[in-house]
Structure 1
Amino acid sequence: MPHPQDSNNDQDIYQEHVLDHYEDPYNRGHLASATHAHDGKNPLCGDKIHVDLRLDSDGRVAEAWFDGDGCVISQASASMLLEAIEGKTIEEVEKFSAEDMLSLFGPQLTPNRQKCCLLSWKVLQGALKRPVGTEAAPSVTEDDDEVEPKTSFGGPSLEEEQ
């Protein structure tokens, strides 16, 4: 979804390497042999990212895959990030900062667009702490205040009453 305040620098944002990662992403899909996985979304714009990782016995990222929906920036940055972290140790991935992610992406981004770019980075950090088969933790969201609490009132749902 376009951000109106970003229209004057859209040309810079959609550089060739960004479009290449969007149109032909690196390791897009699900990884059946994943050892770690996590989901995240940006509720303000609707971007969604799922990251699957296979960590080897040496503590390295043997494989990294993603899937999701969203704008060019969110999807291209996920592709760039997962390509960059394959083969790295868990410690190296944990030390990869938000500033490193923005630098990897390339073009200067407004704060709203930075959230699109950083979503995959946040999901990746969560995936490192979420082994497959363990109790799922809440998904990553851009703004935890925006997450609706799951409340049960013990009565029938609206659909059941009708």
Structure 2
Amino acid sequence: MPELDADTYPANYDLARCQPGDPTAPEETRTTRRLTITLCGSTSRAAHDLARVHRALALAGHLVHAPVPPMQGEPPATTEQLQALTERHRAAIDASHLVIAVIPDGHTGVATAAEMTYAERYAPTTRWVTDVDALVGDPAAWLDGADTYPALQPATA
């Protein structure tokens, strides 16, 4: 996928609202169904790779949820904040077509393993990525079969 910058899209074009098949949409969003994707991975070991994958998938027209990395110089999150972030992340998993574990070093930590165990139980599809460059270089090829990902079902109480 070519590198995209702000000049690639018209100034008034809202990428978040584009729909596959829209003739005014960027080329790479016309041929692939827009998926809701949640990323899982270590925000300490894989923060840069999570950001790269998030950007590539978002620029390919997908709605992407990702964990919130700690901010340098900020106090650590409280137990209550971590619990709220975990609940939000699980809600994102519940609302996703696809959940991707980004593990460039091949190591799955305890938190990522727990997220993916949850995702494998509740999400329609899960994938694991260790070759981040392959996904970032060509998201459409990496997501091959996006049109076959299951449709989301409304949550039931």
Tell me the TM-score normalised to structure 2 length.
0.25
* TM-score of the two chains, using structure 1 as the length reference: 0.24
